[in-house]
Structure formats: structure tokens, C-alpha cells
Amino acid sequence: MNQIINIALPKGRLGEKVYNIFEMAGYPCPSIKEDSRKLIFENSEAGIRYFWVKPSDVAIYVERGAADIGVAGKDILLEYSPDIYELLDMNMGKCRMAVAGKSTFRDNTQRPLKVATKFSNIAQEYYSSLGRDIDIIKLQGSIEIAPILGLSDVIVDIVETGTTLRENNLEVLETIVPISARLISNKVSFKFKNNEIETIVNKIGKVIKEV
Ligand code: PRP
């Protein structure tokens, strides 16, 4: 008998798109679309149980085995390096990790560069690779305000459409890495629920190619 596969979906706009892909792949759970505060949805016939989690928490659920698989942004995977398998590029949630600042920004190499970011590991690694000393200012959101108020010289953040930067008179100074959503798996689940997980990956892969 097939075992139930627990799937952590990122709550929000991306998660809804991801669910639609799973639905098209043959793993529907219509109650998930009802307007409610419920977080867990099961379709035992299809052998799946979905739960909505904060996008940045998906990798934690998967790494610790509370979810067998999930969909997480490459930004989170790069920042936290969770011990998981990355199985598939979902080709959605596309954006880039970038350095941004005022158009007038000029780097003063006589002192450490002040970098505001949610992604301190990505920022640290990037600037280490350039041999540039930085002073990380770790923020939780609205990072764009930091260089405007002089809290930092630049920011390292996600840029999708570029609207947030534009509307705050900032611009991309350097692109660090392209980002997209990835299907990830718990390592033990991948071994012991291999058939089920491989089947899901194949079906999702086919749908992604079609859409
Ligand atoms: C992200 C990111 C930027 C914005 C970029 O923020 O931190 O602020 O999206 O998108 P854009 O290029 O399309 O304008 P998010 O909405 O995740 O909220 P946050 O401020 O809490 O990080």
C-alpha cells in the first residue's frame, strides 16, 4: 500500500501556484481552496497531505522530516544550507538576489561596507568571494529603507519586478544569483518513500514542462 506523502507548501501567492501544479499532476485536494484558516489538508486516495507553512520555514519542516517534501525558494536554501535533497527546479517564483543601493553610491574601500539584509550568509559569502570586508546589519523586512536613511551603504535582497527599488529611488548595483522555487525532499523519506516521491517528481516535472 502507498504511504501518505506529507507536503509543505509555502503559504501565499507562490504556494497557490505550486498547489495548482500539484493538482494538475494528479494530487488534488479541493478543500485547500476553500476560504478558511485551516492549515492541513489531506486526500488519502491520492496519498498526500498538504500543509501551509511560512515560506522561510518549509526547509526546516523538510529537513527534520515533519514534511517528506516541500517547495522552498533557492534563496532560503542558499542562506540556511538545510540538509535536504533538491529534486527539481519548479521554474516559478523567479527572481534574483542582488546588491542594490542609491544610483549615487560609490564604494569607499577604506572602511567595511555596511550591508543591510535578511540574507546575512549569502551576503557574507558573496563579499568574501570578492575579498571585501563588510559590516552586516541584519533586518527582517523593508530592507530598502536602510540605504535611504543611511543605516547602510547597500542592501542584499530579492528583486523580482524591481518595483520596490524603483519606487524608493534605488537600483540594482550587482546581481549575485538567480533564484527560483525548488522541490526538496527529506533525505530519509527519499530513501523509504522513494517510489512515491519519485512518482511525484516525475509527474510534477511533466506538468512544469507543459505550462
Ligand atoms: C521582497 C523583497 C523586496 C520585494 C522585491 O519583499 O524583500 O522588498 O519583495 O519585489 P519587487 O522587485 O517585485 O518589488 P517581500 O514582499 O517578501 O517582503 P519583506 O519586505 O518582508 O521582505
How far apart (Å, rounded) are the C-alpha atoms in residues 58 and 162?
A: 25
Can you give the pTM of this predicted structure? 0.94
The predicted structure's pLDDT at residue 16: 95
Closest atom, ligand 1, to C-alpha of 164: 14
The predicted structure's pLDDT at residue 202: 98
Other CB atoms closer than 10 Å to residue 166's CB: what's the count?
Answer: 10
Element (H, E) at 59: helix 58-63
The overall average pLDDT reported for the chain is 96
Angle (CA) 89-141-34 rounded to 5° is 60
Closest atom, ligand 1, to C-alpha of 163: 14
CB 62 within 8 A of CB 188: no
pLDDT (average), residues 143-170: 97
pLDDT (average), residues 139-154: 97
The CB of 13 under 6 Å from ligand 1? The reply is no
How far apart (Å, rounded) are the C-alpha atoms in residues 90 and 87?
A: 9
Residue owning the nearest CA to atom 15 of ligand 1: 141
The predicted structure's pLDDT at residue 1: 57
**What is the per-residue pLDDT across 73-130, written as a single tens digit (0 to 9) for each?**
999 999 999 999 999 999 999 999 999 999 999 999 999 999 999 999 999 999 999 9
Cβ partners under 8 Å of residue 15, min gap 6: 9, 52, 55, 71
Q: Is the pLDDT of residue 155 over 90?
A: yes
Cα atoms in the 13 Å half-sphere on the side-chain side of 163 = 2
How far apart (Å, rounded) are the C-alpha atoms in residues 89 and 180?
A: 7
